[in-house]
């Protein structure tokens, strides 16, 4: 406390305090919301991406065309615009459908809407990341699975997916970090994630610098922790691959 | 080596009763890639315990023929009969019964030119993968058996190693252990030594030679003529998608009748 006072930061510390009248708990609640959406969107993106990648690689011409439209459109339009479109169009459609079926206005949870919107965006990128990773698996390994009588789904589960993880993790780590930061865009549709909470705290107290710096610090913490987690995942995924540093090929 | 001598070494039990039934029978096999006809009607029979060597220049269709037997390539026409069971084919040659082809594949163990071990699994995991997950054998049993097989191919101390950290010869021996782990009725070798450095060829051939001496049924596509002559009971020479000449190794190598075979043998020796 004395040190903070000496540094002239006592006021900032009070503003960021977890108990009222500090706004710290608001920021943390926003962070929790952001992480919840990022997790959900990333997971949904992975599932869409896996189906998308397999569809693009092995699907029929119609499916391949549809997926090409999906990945092209989603990756072409700025995320902010997509969020506005998907959020307002999505809620509008759901309400129209509800009205048709005789229900009143449906209240759409911000978390669910956020996960859907960002998940669809993530799915387009994940499709390409995973498609590239599947293509990087030596075809002989998949052929060996077939030659020993593995059914297609088992081949996917036991051979293709674990083998491609080595090639997919760097791209997926990128996607995860993008997901955490894209949650900030949901502020425009009024969802109380970290950025919006920060903005509210800042404009109520006029301490913009303190709060946005604190929010930046929280985003940085998320990135650092994610980096550590993905480093472990990558080490595990590459367990069968000689490292480049050892100079073996 | 005359086949009579080999029959003496073969385990007398199950195989003796099944000698009448061909382990692998290929009838009038055709295969085209687009306009290119790679196989133009090949027929071949391997009895239980036979070692059939398939030789020929590159592009002769020998690997394609082997890969048609377990339907890694779908034949364009013809019949494949494995141990008396004909593989059901649609008009376009694709397998009509997925279950059947998957079941038959577990009896045909393939050893590839480029080993194709699963890179994210240790050698032991590679060897138990099919027994545990496809054949649903108890894991402990599969591990015990896999260890014995790894000892047999001289890799007892490498069971925890990942394939990429081993030499080509070690990887190929591990791939042979993986093949043996399924108790295959027939082993298919697709140029098993072609990707190896010359000094590593011997260790792999030694393992294959032992298996041949055990009386295992094998189809062996190879460029190692001396080895083919030594282990095979029957040699098939393919030329441009047709069987140009076949017979016991002493005949095929010692007294080739076809001019093309004479030229081929001259070019490879």
Cis peptide bond N-terminal to A21, omega within 30: yes
The sign one gets for the Cα dihedral B159, B164, B165, B166 is positive
pLDDT at B201: 92
Residue A61, domain member (yes or no): yes
The answer, yes or no, to whether residue A248 has pLDDT greater than 60, is: no
DSSP structure string for B129-150: HHHHHTS---HHHHHHHHHHHH
Q: How far apart are CA A17 and CA A212, in angstroms?
A: 15
Residue A20, domain member (yes or no): no
Q: How far apart are CA A58 and CA B264, in angstroms?
A: 41
Residue A8, domain member (yes or no): no
Q: Using pLDDT thresholds of 50, 70 and 90, give the confidence band for residue B15.
A: very low
The region, left, alpha or beta by phi > 0 then psi within -120 to 50, assigned to residue B78 is left
Residue A11, domain member (yes or no): no
DSSP structure string for B201-262: HHHHHHHHHHHHHTT-EEEEE-S-HHHHHHH-SEEEEEETTEEEEEE-HHHHHHS--SHHHH
Q: How far apart are CA B187 and CA B198, in angstroms?
A: 23
Of B98, B105, B120, Cβ closest to residue A162 = B120
Task: DSSP letter for B81, please.
Answer: E
The answer, yes or no, to whether residue B105 has pLDDT greater than 80, is: yes
pLDDT at A101: 84
The answer, yes or no, to whether residue B11 has pLDDT greater than 50, is: no
**Chain A residues with CB inside 8 Å of B165's CB?**
242, 248
Range of the domain at A174: 25-237
B111 contacts B175 by C-beta, under 8 angstroms: yes
In B48-102, DSSP assigns E strands to: 51-56, 77-82, 85-86
Cα distance from A232 to chain B (closest Cα, Å)?
Answer: 16
Residue-level length of chain A: 249
- Mean pLDDT throughout A37-43? 95
User: pLDDT tens digits, residue range A58-68?
Assistant: 999 999 999 99
Q: Which of A17-21, A208-212, B234-238 has the highest mean pLDDT?
A: B234-238
Q: How far apart are CA A197 and CA A214, in angstroms?
A: 12
- Mean pLDDT throughout A18-34? 83
The answer, yes or no, to whether residue B7 has pLDDT greater than 80, is: no
Nearest to B180, CA basis, from B211, B155, B221, B223: B211
Higher-confidence position of A91 and B13: A91
Cα distance from B115 to chain A (closest Cα, Å)?
Answer: 8
**Chain B residues with CB inside 8 Å of A145's CB?**
118
Q: What does pLDDT average to over chain A?
A: 88
- Mean pLDDT throughout B63-70? 93
pLDDT at A193: 85
- Mean pLDDT throughout B180-187? 94
Q: Using pLDDT thresholds of 50, 70 and 90, give the confidence band for residue A112.
A: confident
User: pLDDT tens digits, residue range A187-220?
Assistant: 888 888 888 888 888 888 888 888 899 899 999 9
Number of domains in chain A: 1
- Residue in B with minimal Cα distance to A241: B164
Higher-confidence position of B112 and A92: B112
Nearest to B24, CA basis, from B2, B44, B53: B44
- State the burial class of residue A96 (Cβ atoms within 10 Å of its Cβ: 0-12, 13-18, 19+): exposed
Selected for mutation to probe chain A from B116, B120, B186 (highest A CB count within 10 Å) is: B120
Task: DSSP letter for B21, please.
Answer: S
- Mean pLDDT throughout B198-203? 90
Residue A245, domain member (yes or no): no
**Chain A residues with CB inside 8 Å of B114's CB?**
140
pLDDT at A136: 94
Task: DSSP letter for A241, please.
Answer: S
Cα distance from B133 to chain A (closest Cα, Å)?
Answer: 8
CATH assignment of the domain containing A53? 1.10.3720.10
- Quote the percentage of chain A above a pLDDT of 90: 53
State which H helix or E strand residue B32 sits in. strand B22-33
pLDDT at B149: 95
Quick one: tokens of B37?
């006809």
pLDDT at B24: 93
Q: How far apart are CA B9 and CA B206, in angstroms?
A: 17
User: pLDDT tens digits, residue range A120-146?
Assistant: 999 999 999 999 999 999 999 999 999
How would you classify the pairing of strands B77-82 and B85-86? antiparallel
Nearest to B72, CA basis, from B93, B43, B47: B93
A13 contacts A4 by C-beta, under 8 angstroms: yes
- Mean pLDDT throughout A227-236? 93
- Mean pLDDT throughout A219-244? 90
Residue A5, domain member (yes or no): no
CB-based burial, A206-228: b 16+ in 10 Å, e otherwise? ebeebbeebbeebbeebeeebee
The answer, yes or no, to whether residue A246 has pLDDT greater than 60, is: no
Of A163, A165, A166, Cβ closest to residue B118 = A163
Residues 216 through 245 of chain A touching chain B, CB cutoff 8 Å: 237, 239-242
Task: DSSP letter for B113, please.
Answer: T
pLDDT at A232: 94
């Amino acid at each position: 406390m004395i040190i903070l006072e000496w540094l002239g930061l006592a006021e900032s510390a009070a503003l960021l305090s977890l108990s009222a009248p500090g706004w710290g708990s608001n920021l943390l609640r926003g962070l929790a919301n952001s992480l919840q959406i990022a997790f959900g969107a990333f997971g949904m993106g992975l599932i869409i991406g896996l189906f998308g990648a397999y569809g693009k690689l092995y699907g029929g011409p119609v499916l391949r065309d549809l997926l090409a439209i999906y990945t092209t459109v989603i990756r072409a339009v700025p995320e902010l615009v997509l969020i506005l479109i998907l959020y307002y169009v999505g809620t509008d459609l759901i309400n129209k459908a509800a009205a048709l079926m005789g229900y009143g206005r449906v209240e759409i949870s911000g978390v669910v809407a956020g996960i859907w919107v960002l998940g669809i965006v993530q799915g387009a990128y994940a499709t390409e990341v995973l498609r590239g990773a599947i293509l990087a698996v030596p075809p002989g390994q998949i052929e060996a699975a077939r030659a020993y009588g593995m059914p297609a789904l088992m081949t996917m589960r036991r051979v293709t997916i674990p083998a491609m993880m080595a090639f997919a993790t760097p791209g997926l780590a990128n996607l995860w970090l993008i997901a955490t930061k894209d949650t900030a865009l949901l502020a425009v549709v009024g969802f109380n994630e970290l950025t919006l909470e920060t903005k509210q705290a800042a404009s109520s107290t006029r301490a913009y610098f303190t709060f946005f710096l604190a929010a930046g610090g929280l985003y940085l913490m998320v990135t650092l922790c994610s980096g550590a987690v993905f480093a472990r995942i990558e080490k595990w995924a590459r367990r069968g691959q000689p490292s480049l540093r050892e100079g073996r090929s | 080596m005359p086949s009579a001598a080999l029959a003496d070494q073969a385990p007398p039990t199950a195989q003796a009763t099944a000698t009448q039934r061909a382990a692998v029978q290929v009838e009038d096999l055709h295969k085209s890639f687009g306009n290119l006809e790679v196989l133009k009607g090949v027929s071949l029979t391997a009895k239980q315990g036979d070692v059939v060597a398939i030789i020929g220049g590159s592009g002769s269709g020998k690997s394609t023929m082997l890969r048609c037997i377990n339907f890694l390539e779908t034949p364009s026409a013809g019949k494949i009969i494995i141990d008396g069971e004909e593989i059901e084919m649609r008009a376009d040659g694709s397998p009509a019964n997925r279950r059947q082809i998957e079941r038959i594949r577990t009896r045909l163990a393939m050893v590839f030119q480029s080993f194709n071990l699963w890179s994210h699994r240790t050698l032991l995991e590679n060897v138990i993968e099919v027994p545990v997950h496809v054949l649903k054998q108890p894991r402990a049993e599969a591990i015990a058996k896999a260890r014995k097989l790894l000892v047999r191919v001289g890799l007892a101390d490498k069971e925890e190693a990942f394939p990429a950290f081993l030499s080509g010869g070690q990887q190929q021996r591990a791939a042979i252990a993986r093949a043996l782990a399924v108790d295959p009725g027939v082993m298919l070798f697709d140029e098993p030594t072609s990707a190896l450095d010359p000094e590593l060829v011997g260790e792999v051939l030694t393992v294959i030679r032992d298996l041949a001496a055990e009386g295992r049924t094998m189809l062996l596509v190879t460029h190692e003529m001396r080895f083919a002559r030594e282990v095979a009971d029957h040699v098939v020479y393919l030329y441009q998608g047709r069987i140009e000449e076949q017979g016991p190794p002493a005949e095929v190598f010692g007294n080739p009748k076809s001019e093309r075979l004479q030229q081929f043998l001259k070019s490879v020796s």
